[in-house]
Amino acid sequence: MTIATTRSTTTSPTLAPATYELERQLRTLRVSGMAQTLLARNQEAIANHLAYTEFLMLLVDDEFARRRDRLFTRRLTSARVPQFKTLESFDWSFNPQIPKALILDLATVRFVPEHGGLLLLGPPGTGKSHIALSLTVAAIQAGYTALYRSALDLAQDLAEAEATGTRPEFIRKLTRVDLLVIEDLGMRRLPPTAAEDLLEIFTRRYETGAILVSSNRPLEDWAQVLGDTAAAGALLDRFLHHADIIRLQGRSWRVHDRQRRRTQDNANAAIPREP
């Protein structure tokens, strides 16, 4: 049995009101994905002589897709991701020595349920932020929760939580999120409590949650960066136990892009204009 009918929904005096009433009921039931595509799917079912179950399957797929997209948007906002990046837009050819195969393997985000880690080391402009953002987006697309903060922002968040008496709740949030991303460790001076704060976070997440860190400072500088040799050693001991280290080297892509734009602007300016 199929849904097909010889009458068009645009000319039938009875089908259209029933369809719109069904759409209203679907919205009342809060299945807005089905309601939104009902009219189009109905036309598709008539045109292709679909069975009732096939028509219903299309509507259910639409509902799942809408809920998945809304959940992704909510988790992306909650993760405080500053930019939407994917590895599809990454310029692999600029620095050929970047370990593409390893990074693409990490993009499967298997390290997240394994409670592993990733450390991206390298000078500014070598792709650390793009990779970190892309892996965070990939984790959220895979259904995981994430939180993306710079080391300085995280330190300020902790200081604010301490001042407002909400530190225990904030620490629980940092502990429970599936993937914690800390960017630019060592880029700016951290407050005196940063070493103890970060050690507490890494200790609580040890073998219970994944961590991704990016830094422009080599590991031997972390004691100086954190201002506490013992805390830095304990932190690295826990973090590196289950973490991959990717060292990015080469020229700065930002400098290269700025020079390319300047060259292009000069070339455009040299083109004579028609009178």
Q: From its phi and psi, is residue 8 left (phi > 0), alpha (psi between -120 and 50) or beta?
A: beta
Cα 108 off chain centre by: 13
| Res 106: pLDDT | 94
β-sheet bridge partners, residue 2: 51
Which of 5, 39, 43 is CA-nearest to residue 20?
39
- Note whether 139 and 72 are within 8 A (CB): no
**For residue 270, what pLDDT is reported?**
59
Predicted local distance difference test score (pLDDT) of residue 72 = 82
Residue 251: which H helix or E strand, with range?
none
β-strand partners of 150: 183
pLDDT at 171: 95
Name every residue whose Cβ is closer than 8 Å to that of residue 31 and which is 6 or more positions away in sequence.
63
For residue 257, the model assigns a pLDDT of 56
Strand residues in the chain grouped as ranges (E): 117-121, 146-150, 179-185, 210-215, 243-247
pLDDT attached to residue 259: 57
**CA 259 remoteness from chain centre:** 29
The count of other CB atoms within 10 Å of the CB of residue 272 is 5
Q: Which residues pair with 180 in a beta bridge?
A: 147, 211
For helices 32-48 and 15-28, give the axis angle rounded to 10 degrees: 150
pLDDT, position 273: 62
Tokens of 242: 């289950």
- CB 109 within 8 Å of CB 139: yes
pLDDT along the chain (275 residues), means of 10: 40 58 81 82 86 86 81 88 92 86 94 95 91 96 95 94 95 95 91 91 95 95 91 94 90 58 59 63
CA distance 85 to 273: 38
pTM of the predicted model as reported, rounded to 2 decimal places? 0.72
